[in-house]
A = this chain, B = another copy of it.
Amino acid sequence: MSVITIERKVLEKNDEIASKNRELFKKNKVFTANLVSSPGSGKTSVVEKTLEHFKGKLKISVIEGDVQTNLDAQRVSKYGVPVVQIVTNGSCHLEAKLVQDALQNLKLEDADVLFIENVGNLVCPAAYDLGEDMKVVIASTTEGDDKPLKYPRMFINASVLLINKIDLIPYINCNIEELRKNALQINPKLEIFEVSCTTGDGIDKWCGWLESKIQKK
Contact = CB atoms under 8 A, between A and B. Distances in A.
Nearest to A122: B39
21 contacts: A1-B1, A38-B38, A38-B39, A38-B40, A38-B120, A39-B147, A39-B150, A40-B142, A66-B150, A68-B150, A69-B149, A71-B146, A71-B150, A90-B153, A120-B122, A120-B151, A121-B122, A121-B124, A142-B165, A167-B171, A171-B171
- Size class of the A contact interface (CB-based, 8 Å): 35 or more
Given A92-B124, A121-B124, 12 more contacts: A3-B6, A3-B10, A38-B39, A38-B40, A39-B150, A40-B143, A67-B123, A121-B123, A142-B142, A142-B165, A168-B168, A168-B172
A169 to B, nearest CB: 11
Interface in A14-56: 38-41
Contacts of A38: 38-40, 120, 122, 143
Give the interface SS of chain A, mostly helix, strand, loop or mixed: loop
A71 B68 CA distance: 32
A68 B152 contact: yes
A105 interface: no
Contact of A140 (B3, B142, B167, B171): B142
A119 interface: yes
A119 B92 CA distance: 14
A175 interface: no
A14 to B, nearest CB: 12
